[in-house]
Structures are given as structure tokens and as C-alpha cells.
Amino acid sequence: MFDLSTLFAAARASGRAVPVILDGDPGHDDAIGWMLAKASPLLDIRAVTSCAGNQTLEKTTYNARRICALLGIDAPIAMGLHHPLLSDPITAGNIHGQSGLDGPRLPEPVGELSPLTAVELMAKVLRESAEPVVIVVTGPETNVAALLLAHPELKPKIAGISVMGGGIAYGNWTAAAEFNILVDPEAAEIVFSSGLPVQMCGLDVTERALIFPEDFERIRAVDNGVARVVAEWLDFFYRFHRTLGYAGAPVHDPCAIASLLHPELFTIREMHVAIETRGEYCRGTTVGDTSGRLGPANARCVMDVDRDGFAALLLDAVKAYNGWEVPQA
Ligand code: BDR
Ligand code: CA
């Protein structure tokens, strides 16, 4: 099975950045993932697209634009679909707040929102790119599924899709389903059955990517404009998760970036992942099969992480913003 680790190893060896589209529903952990992406010379961010998920599309789009202003991401930003393909929307204001990104003040958006839809912008980036592009999805997979349905001819221009979503062992929104997949199971089904290389960071790994107060205090001490905001986001995320009994903040979405850049920190297993789109209790479940009963492997599932290495990666990434003047909030 072609794997994205091979692509990134080649990029590292040649010193050429991999073109990437960031699609998400920011969200504190999406934002921290994008911080990691912008800090890496291995990634060339060609577009940012918003999807409905943690909050309404209007809110996640506004957040995406504010995050890009904070981080100095100057790629075009486009708004995705308002609704999952077939389901009613679900939001997660209980976790991310009314704005979808409650906590520290952020700069206002710089520049205009793209007049294109997310699907149109993704298609344009793919068409214009000389090399295949990696799509990183840290929200429900609605936009990417719509892209695949509308433009099957562009599949050869997609190097692979790295998703945060699902969980082989358990869920977090229902007993069996994780939030991003539950919001739009039909979209996830389209992505996982696309035949494209899919790397999945489910709860199996992301709930081991725990960040503790000593980690975010180290980040805060870096004391640049981005580090201070990231420390606040982590603090916010930590305080919420403590109320649920977590030992630390499970920093889900950055795993979808970190596992591309540093696969040596992660344990990855190939398997077939089927998406349950029906079921009274299990809609949105990612069913992992290594027996061959459900078919050959269609995904590389990230199952574990070197937690200390991951925390060190976040710390190093915020240091990359030393000298960057964050626009006034
Ligand atoms: C996922 O749900 C969202 O709340 C987070 O941003 C993450 O993408 C974790 O289940
Ligand atoms: Ca997210």
C-alpha cells in the first residue's frame, strides 16, 4: 500500500516541500494542527478550507481566517458546505465554546475570503499543482467527499488524505463513534472507499497525545505572539477535558499533521476501515478489520504515539514563530 510516510521521506531527502490543503472546523486542536503545519518547511500550504463541525460554518470560517492571520498563512481560504451530505449538523459548542474557538483574543482576518467554494478552490489547487497534493482533514469529511464526487478526474492529483477521525477501539460522541465521523458518516465512507491513500488518526492515538500543564507552560515561556495563544488554547482544552476525567488535553487534530512529518513518533497499522452508516448504536463507527473479511487494507491507522516526542514537537513548532509579528488583535 502506498504510504504518505514514503512521500514525506522523499520530500525530506530532496528538500522539497509537499503541497497541502488544510480542511477543518477550527476548533482549538485544528488551530494547533495548522500552527504545526505552517511551522514546517516540509509543507507548502496551498489552500485552507472550512467545514461545519465544531461550530456552524460561518463561525468555523471566521475562525479559520483569524487563525491564518495569527500564523501568517497567506494561502486562499474558502468556505465549505453548510451541512453534512445527508445528516443534520451536530456542533460541539460544549467543547470549543460559542465562537468555536473561545479563549484568547485573536487578530481579525487579513484579506478577503475566496469567492470560490471549498470544492472549487480544492479543485483549482489540484489542477494547477505540478505534483500531487496531500489533503489534511481535521473536521467532518464533507468537503473532501464532495470534491471526490464532483471531480473524480482529479483523484490522480491527490497524493493522499490524512484525517483526524474515528477510533478503532471506541468513540467519544457516542459509545462507538467519534465526533468527526459521526457528523458525516456518508462523507467518511466516500473518503475511505476512494482508493486513495488514507492515513487515519483516530482516538486510539489522539487520546494518547495528551498535553499537560507543564507542557503548555513550556510553550507559554517561549513568549512569542503565537506561543502565548497556543498555550492559552491548550490551557482551555485542558480545563475542559479535566472536567471529563482526562489526565491531560487530548490534542487530536495535530496528530494528522505530526504523523506525516514525524512518522517515527507514531505506531501505524494498515487495515481495512469500514464506516458504519446505519445502526441504532453504531452509526459513525470506524470498524477496523485486519482479517481480510471486509476487504484489503484501505487505510493506515495511527494507533500510538511517543507522547514526550509529540509534546517536544509542539514546543519546537511554536519556536519557529520567534520574530513573527502577529497582527494586532
Ligand atoms: C475531533 O472533534 C473535534 O471537536 C476536534 O476538533 C477533533 O477534530 C475529536 O473528536
Ligand atoms: Ca477538528
| Percentage of the residues of the chain whose pLDDT score is greater than 90 | 98
Query: Given this model, what pLDDT does residue 250 score?
Result: 98
Return the pLDDT at 186: 98
Using the atom order of ligand 1, give the atom closest to the CA of residue 30.
Answer: 6
CA of 31 to the centre of ligand 1 (A): 11
Read off the pLDDT of each residue in 297-319 and give the average, rounded to a whole number.
98
- Testing ligand 1's pocket by substitution, the residue of 23, 51, 252 carrying the most ligand atoms inside 8 A of its CB is 252
One-letter amino acid at 210 equals: L
Mean pLDDT across 262-279 = 97
Average pLDDT, the chain: 97
pLDDT band of 34, cuts 50, 70, 90: very high
Ligand 1, pocket-test mutation among 90, 174, 253, most atoms within 8 A of CB: 253
CB half-sphere exposure, 87, CA atoms < 13 A: 23
pLDDT band at 328 (very low <50, low <70, confident <90, very high): confident
- Going from the C-alpha of 260 to that of each of 36, 134, 154, 273, 302, the distances in angstroms are 11, 10, 22, 19, 10
**More confident of the two residues 111 and 43:** 43
Let me know: does 215 contact 20? Beta carbons within 8 Å.
Answer: no
pLDDT band at residue 228 using 50, 70 and 90 as cut-offs: very high
299 CA distance to ligand 1 middle (Å): 19
Give the tens place of pLDDT for each residue, 182-195.
999 999 999 999 99
- C-beta of residue 73 within 8 angstroms of C-beta of residue 30: no
Q: Report the Cα–Cα distance between both ends of the chain, in Å, rounded.
A: 46
Q: Which three cell numbers stand for residue 257?
A: 499533521
Asked if residues 143 and 119 have their Cβ atoms less than 8 Å apart, the reply is yes
Task: Decide: 117 and 49 in contact? Cβ < 8 Å.
Answer: no
pLDDT of amino acid 1? 67
User: What is the CB < 6 Å shell around ligand 1?
Assistant: 27, 29-30, 54, 92, 95, 138-139, 164, 172, 178-180, 252-253
Helices (H), 90-244: 93-96, 118-128, 142-150, 179-183, 185-192, 203-206, 213-222, 225-243
pLDDT above 90 for 2: no
CA distance 127 to 39: 26
Of the candidates 28, 96, 241, 252, the residue annotated as catalytic is: 252
Distance 226 CA to ligand 2 centre (A): 19
DSSP conformational letter for 49:
E
Amino acid 289: pLDDT? 98
Mutate to test the pocket of ligand 1, among 164, 183, 201, 251 (most ligand atoms within 8 A of CB): 164
- pLDDT (mean) for 62-87: 98
Ligand nearest to the CA of 286: 1
* 252 classed as catalytic: yes
Task: Determine the average pLDDT of the residues in 225-232.
Answer: 98
Residue 71 Cα to ligand 2 midpoint, Å, equals 17
Hey, what's the torsion of the CAs at 212, 215, 216, 221, to 10 degrees?
150
Distance, CA 14 to ligand 2 centroid (Å)?
Answer: 31
User: Is 70 exceeded by the pLDDT of residue 3?
Assistant: yes
Q: Write the pLDDT tens digit of every residue in 139-179.
A: 999 999 999 999 999 999 999 999 999 999 999 999 999 99
pLDDT digits (tens, 9 = 90+) for 192-222: 999 999 999 999 999 999 999 999 999 999 9
**Residues having C-beta closer than 5 Å to ion ligand 2:** 25, 27, 30, 138-139, 253
Per-residue confidence (pLDDT) for residue 99, from 0 to 100: 97
- Tell whether the model's pLDDT for residue 329 goes beyond 80: no
Tell me the mean pLDDT in the region 321-328: 95
